[in-house]
Structure 1
Amino acid sequence: MVSSQEAAIMEREYQKWFSPNLNRYMEMLVFGREGVPVIFFPTRAAHFYDLENWRIIDAMREKITSGEVQVFCVDSIDEESFYSNKPPRERILRHLQYERYILNEVIPFVKQRNKEKQLAVAGCSLGGYHAVNIGLKNPKIFNKIVGMSARYDLTKPLPFFADLFDGYFDENIYFNMPNHFVPRISDKKLLKQLRNLDITLAIGQDDSFLPDNKRLSDSLNAIGVPHNLFIWEEEAHRPRYWREMVKLYL
C-alpha cells in the first residue's frame, strides 16, 4: 500500500508504442501504481484521455491513490472498425485486430507493470460493449467485468442507432455480439469459468440500450452465470452518471 503522503498524489503516466497488431501507434494513460488493474475502454470514437477529461478518473481518485485499483485507459479505433466506411466484413476484421492488440500487447504490458493476479475490464457506452465482449470471451484472463450504458448487439437497429454492419452477418460478427453467442454457450468448462466472474451491467431506465441489457441478463441467468444488473433512473448515459457508477462498481 502507498503511504499517506504518497496517497495525496494520483500518479499519472503516458504510454505510446507502435502496435504490430494494428500497424499504427497506440496511446494509453495509466493512473496509480498498484492495486487491481482495470483496463478501461473509452466511449464510441472517444480516446484514452476522455475518461480523465470527463472527471471519471477523478471520481476514482480515492481508490487509485489508496492502491485499491490501477487504471489503464486504452485508446479506441472505432472509427476504423465499426464506424468506418469499409465493407462490413472488413469492419469486424479490424475490430478483431483491435482485440488482439488488447490481448497480446496491452495485457502483457499490464502484467509486466502490475503483479496482481486479478484483472478487471470496464467501459461506458461502446466501451462497455468492448469490456463485456472481450471479458465474456476470455473468462480465464479476467476476473471482473463492468459494462455501463452499453449495447450488446451492434447488428440490431434501434431509434437513433443503426445496424453497424448494414445487414451483413458472418461468424466473426456472431462471436462478437454477446446477445448472439451467450445464449448458446454450453461448454461445461467455459460455463464454470464464466460463473467465477464478477459481472456488473448498469443501464438507465430510459436508455435505448435497456432491452439489450435485459436480454443479456436473461441469457446469463439461463446459462446459470451470476451477475448484477443495475437499472438507474433516467437515461443515465452521460459522464455525470458514469462518475457515480465507477465509485460503486469498480
Structure 2
Amino acid sequence: MQEYYHKWQSPILKREIEMLVFGHSGRPIILFPTSLGKYYEAKDRGLIESVRWFIENGFVKIYCPDSIDALSWYNKDIEPLGRAFNHNLYDQLIEEEVLSRALHETGWSTATVAGCSFGGYHAANFAFKHPEKIHALISMSGAFDIKSQVDGAYNDNVYFNNPIDYLPNNYNAALWHLHIILGTSTKDICLDQNKKLSKILAEKKINHWLDIRNDAPHDWPIWLEMFPHYLSVL
C-alpha cells in the first residue's frame, strides 16, 4: 500500500498543513479526523488498515488532511463568531488545496468525503455545501448541529456551516445525486442527530441510507467495521 506525506504552507490559512495520502489510483476519498484530530489519526487508529484491500486494488485513494478544530470550533480563546469564520477558511482550504489536488491526481471529477464523529460533521457539511464536487458522503456517528460550539452566537457563517439549519433551504440540484450513508447505532451519543438529519433528507426526498446498528458505543471498533462495509456498498 503506497503512502505519501505532504506538508505545505497554506496560502489560505497562512500556516503549515500536513496530510497523508494512501493508494496509487482510484476514486479519491477525503477522510476527515475526529475532534481536534491530526492527519495521522486514521492510520494510527486502524481505519486505513481496515480498507487496505480497496486501496491496494486501486479502487480508492485516501487523502487524510489535518483539522484546524483547535483554531475554529474548539477555540475558546476567541469570540464564537470568529470560530465560524476560521472554519470557513478551512472549508476553502479543503476545496482549493486538498480536493483540487485529489481530483487532479486521480483524474476523477468528483470525490467521496468521509469521517467519524466530528469528522462526520466535516464530511457532511462539506458535501452539502459543495454537492456538485462530491460523489458520496460516508458519515460514521457524525454530529450535524454546530450551534453547541458557538455559545449562542449566530450569523450567516454559523448558519451556512450548520447542516441542520441550512439543508432544508438548500435546493442545489446536485444534492439529489449524492450517495449518502449515515452510520450510527442504538448506543451512539449522536443517534438522535443522525435521525434528525435523516428526517430532513427524507422530507426533501433525497436518497440516503440511515444504518442503525445494535449495541455499539460511539467509538473506533464500530467505525472499523463500518468503513470497509460502506466502501463495498459504494
Above 0.5 in TM-score? yes
CA distance in structure 1 between the aligned counterparts of 2:30 and 2:187, rounded to whole angstroms:
27
**Aligned residue among 52, 58, 80 for 1:67:** 58
CA distance in structure 2 between the aligned counterparts of 1:194 and 1:154, rounded to whole angstroms:
21
TM-score, L = length of structure 1: 0.90
For 1:82-115, what per-residue CA distance to the aligned partner results, in whole angstroms no more than 9, with x for missing partners?
Answer: 1102100100000000000001111121122111
CA distance in structure 2 between the aligned counterparts of 1:208 and 1:60, rounded to whole angstroms:
25
1:175 alignment counterpart: 160
Alignment of 1:126-205 (within 5 A): 126-155=118-147, 163-185=148-170, 187=171, 190=172, 192-205=173-186
2:80 alignment counterpart: 88
Alignment of 1:1-250 (within 5 A): 10-85=1-76, 86-155=78-147, 163-185=148-170, 187=171, 190=172, 192-250=173-231
For 1:148-190, what per-residue CA distance to the aligned partner results, in whole angstroms no more than 9, with x for missing partners?
Answer: 11110021xxxxxxx21111111111111111111223x3xx1
**What amino acid maps onto 1:43 in structure 2?**
T
TM-score, L = length of structure 2: 0.96
Say if 1:149 and 1:236, in contact at 8 Å, map to a contact too. Answer: no
CA radius of gyration, larger in: 1
CA distance in structure 2 between the aligned counterparts of 1:143 and 1:106, rounded to whole angstroms:
16
CA distance in structure 2 between the aligned counterparts of 1:54 and 1:241, rounded to whole angstroms:
12
* Misfit runs of 4+, over 3 Å: none
CA distance in structure 1 between the aligned counterparts of 2:194 and 2:161, rounded to whole angstroms:
16
Secondary structure at 2:152 match in 1? coil
Report the CA distance between 1:239 and its aligned residue.
1.4
For 1:106-157, what per-residue CA distance to the aligned partner results, in whole angstroms no more than 9, with x for missing partners?
Answer: 11211221112331000111010000001011111001011111110021xx
The count of corresponding residues between Structure 1 and Structure 2 is 230
Gaps of 5+ in 2: none
CA distance in structure 2 between the aligned counterparts of 1:169 and 1:108, rounded to whole angstroms:
30
CA distance in structure 1 between the aligned counterparts of 2:185 and 2:217, rounded to whole angstroms:
5
Say if 2:187 and 2:218, in contact at 8 Å, map to a contact too. Answer: no
Secondary structure at 1:152 match in 2? coil
